[in-house]
Amino acid sequence: MRKMLLVSILLALFAMSTVAQQAKSVILLVGNGLGSVQLNLARSFAGGHLHIDELTHQGKMKTGSANSPVPDLAAAGTALATGRKTNNGLISMLPSGEKLQSIAQLMKGKGGKVGIITDGRVTQPLPAAFYAWSMSATDEAAIAEQAMGAKLDLLIGGGRNAFRPVIFGGKRQDSRDLLLTAQIDGFIVAQTRETLEKAQGKKLLGLLANDQLPFEIDRDPERLPSLADMTEKALDEFAQEPFFLLVSGSRMGDASMQNDPASMVMEILAFDRAVAVVLEYARTHPDVLVVITSTFEAGGLLDGKADIEYLKQVQKSVEQMDRELKWDFSNLWDLLSLDAGFEDLTVEEAQLLSTIDSTNAPYILSTLLNNRAGLVWTSQGPTGSSVPVFAYGPAAETIVKQQDNAGLGMALKQAIQ
């Protein structure tokens, strides 16, 4: 009798702990290319504190794919979305052709809402892993078609070109205008900040740029919303309903792979402001699980003492400065002095600039900025380094104990089952 009572008590305790681990909704924030060193640099830039630090449950995870210790965006996104590893280049599919179920699709099957936000293209591999299947991560026109059939409730970001045919200024080789298709299917379609802010309806498609959104350092706030603005819009739309929301800080990965230090820091700070919006929401909704992590570390940034005051003088991304360079480089000094904090040149800097041409200008510019900032990068792509994980809410402790991206993805799915 006592044994049966003990078993009953243990089963009850197990049931209570299981219920405690369940989440009504999940908000996943993913910083593309975000590593611990990048995060520390942004923290120093911000004066020693980030909103992300307010998540007390913290850990680290490995990011390798099924066929490489260094993942690409497709394989990393698949692991986070589905809880399964696949080969680089595949989106939510195994090499055998088997389709994998994502947490977004699981939430939709349970009657919840699904939203995806990115400052990159909505058809890039990370967001696509949550709503599409593809054996070719570069076929964004086909991925855009799947987006329209995925029963998403909200999709906001860049990448309008994949939805519009060439005759309407897009890049689709067929004649299909998926923006028109979206309107027929009941989506409110927004292409500007103003129309996005005013948009009200059960389904929202916001395509705010033909390609990716500009780097935060270059963004015109009058024209384009920030990642935090888009996040706030999504949370307003979802209200109290069960939902899954992906917030993808895509462009910080581009900045890291371009070894552009100021742009990278500004991207992380923009991402951190979206974290602040999410935390404010989660603190009044205790059944919401918030998870923050990365696809992979990018750029191989080495830890060291950076010249923060110099970085604060940089006003444009390397990408934008390169775009503005005249063919004969006659405005090069204007860009360096007005937008990159240069007052003079050392002999070494002058020698480096003497080698600039149209093919190596981004490299030369980023090298100048990094030398001034005292930063050293070891790569211009993804690396196999572990990345940070942060969690808040139901199942947070379980989430941060996961050893790799597939384990984390599976734990996310289990948290809402």
CATH at 205: 3.40.720.10
Cα separation, 286 vs 409, whole angstroms = 21
Residue 99 confidence (pLDDT) = 98
Residue 14: inside a domain, yes or no?
Answer: no
User: Measuring CA to CA, how many Å separate 411 from each of 21, 140, 303, 396?
Assistant: 10, 29, 31, 10
Identify whether residues 326 and 411 lie together within a single domain: no
Identify whether residues 314 and 239 lie together within a single domain: no
Identify whether residues 230 and 358 lie together within a single domain: no
Residue 56 confidence (pLDDT) = 86
Residue spans of alpha helices (H) in 205-317:
227-238, 251-257, 261-282, 308-311
For residue 4, pLDDT over 50 is answered with: no
Identify whether residues 314 and 336 lie together within a single domain: yes
pTM here is 0.94
DSSP string, 327-386: TT-TTHHHHHHHHS--SS--HHHHHHHTT--TTTHHHHHHHHHHHHHT-----SSB----
72 conformational bin, left if phi > 0, alpha if psi -120 to 50, beta if neither: beta
Residue 5: inside a domain, yes or no?
Answer: no
- Tell me the two tokens of residue 42: 């942004």
Mean pLDDT value across the chain: 94
Residue 16: inside a domain, yes or no?
Answer: no
Cα separation, 292 vs 245, whole angstroms = 12
Residue 21 confidence (pLDDT) = 67
Residue 15 confidence (pLDDT) = 33
Amino acid at 276: A
Tell me the average pLDDT across 302-325.
97
Identify whether residues 290 and 314 lie together within a single domain: no
Identify whether residues 73 and 95 lie together within a single domain: yes
Distant-in-sequence, close-in-space partners of 52: CB < 8 Å, separation ≥ 6 = 39, 272, 275, 292, 390
Identify whether residues 324 and 396 lie together within a single domain: no
For residue 240, pLDDT over 80 is answered with: no
Residue 101: inside a domain, yes or no?
Answer: yes
Identify whether residues 337 and 221 lie together within a single domain: no
Pairing of strands 288-294, 387-392: antiparallel
Residue 396 belongs to domain spanning: 24-302+379-415
| Most distant CA pair in the chain, distance | 91
For residue 96, pLDDT over 50 is answered with: yes
Residue 200 confidence (pLDDT) = 86
Identify whether residues 122 and 107 lie together within a single domain: yes
Identify whether residues 38 and 177 lie together within a single domain: yes
Inter-residue contact 30 to 80 (CB < 8 Å): yes
For residue 417, pLDDT over 50 is answered with: yes
* Total of domains in the chain: 2
Identify whether residues 326 and 221 lie together within a single domain: no
pLDDT tens digits, 365-411: 999 999 999 999 999 999 999 999 999 999 999 999 999 999 999 99
Identify whether residues 234 and 155 lie together within a single domain: yes
For residue 7, pLDDT over 90 is answered with: no
